[in-house]
Amino acid sequence: MWIWYRDDFEIYHGMKQNFDRERPGNMLWPAFWKMDSWNTNVVFKKTYNLKEETTFTAYAEGDGYVNAHGRLLPLGEEIKIGPGEVNISVNIGSMETLPALFIEGEVIHTDESWTATNFRENLPVGYSSLYKDKNIKPENIPYMETKYLPGLTKMVNGGHLFDFGCLLNGVPEVICEKAVDLYFGETEAEATDISGCYLYQKNVGKDTKIKRRGFRYIYVPETEGIRVSISAKHQFVPIKVKGRFRSGDELLNRIWSVAEETYKMCSGLFFIDGVKRDRWIWSGDAYQSYFVNPYIFFDEEINKRTIRALRGNKLTDQHLNTIVDYSMYWIMSIENEYTMTGDVDFVASMYDKAEAMMNLLFSQRDKNGFIVKRPGDWIFIDWADMDKDGALSSEQMLFLNCLNVMARLSKLLKKDGRKYVREAKKLKENIDKFFWDEEKGAYINCFESGKRNVTRHPNIFALLYDIASEDKKKTILEKVILSDSVPAITTPYFKFFEMDMLAKYGYLDKVMEEIKSYWGGMLSLGATTFWEEYDPKKQGKEHLSMYGGPYEKSLCHAWSASPIYLIGRYFLGVYPTKAGYETFNVEPKLSYFDSLKCEIPVKDGILYIDYDGEKLEVECDREGGTLVLDGKKTEIPVI
The distance of Cα 524 from the centroid of its chain, to the nearest Å, equals: 27
pLDDT for 294 equals 98
Region 144-236: CATH code: 2.60.120.260
CA distance 220 to 466: 55
- pLDDT reported for residue 389: 86
The pLDDT value recorded for residue 385 is 86
State the amino acid at position 191 in one-letter form: A
Please list the ranges in the chain whose pLDDT falls under 70. none
Nearest to 503 by CA among 575, 432, 441: 575
Specify the DSSP element, H or E, that contains 67: strand 63-68
Amino acid 30: pLDDT: 94
Q: How far is CA 638 from the centre of its chain?
A: 32
State yes or no: cis peptide before 83, omega within 30 of 0.
yes
Q: Superfamily assignment of 574-635 in CATH?
A: Maltose phosphorylase, domain 3 (2.60.420.10)
Residues 451, 387: Cα–Cα separation, whole Å: 8
CATH topology for 324-379+385-488? Glycosyltransferase (1.50.10)
For the chain, the domains span: 3-124, 144-236, 243-300+489-567, 324-379+385-488, 574-635
For the stretch 114-148, what's the b/e string if a residue is b when 16 or more beta carbons lie within 10 angstroms of its beta carbon?
Answer: bbbbbeeeeeebbbbebbeeeeebbbeeebeeeeb
pLDDT at residue 23, rounded to an integer: 87
Give 570's DSSP letter.
Answer: I
Domains 3-124 and 324-379+385-488 share a fold: no
DSSP letters of 419-463?
A: HHHHHHHHHHHHHHHHHEETTTTEE-S-STTS-----HHHHHHHH
CATH number of 3-124: 2.60.120.260
List CB contacts of 42: < 8 A, sequence separation 6 or more: 4, 5, 8, 91, 92, 93, 99, 116, 117, 118
pLDDT at 175: 95
pLDDT at 26: 77
Distance of alpha carbon 298 from its chain centroid, rounded? 13
Each residue's pLDDT tens digit, 442-490: 999 999 999 999 999 999 999 999 999 999 999 999 999 999 999 999 8
What angle (nearest 5°) sits at the alpha carbon of residue 621, between those of residues 619 and 626? Answer: 50
- Residues 214, 137: Cα–Cα separation, whole Å: 25
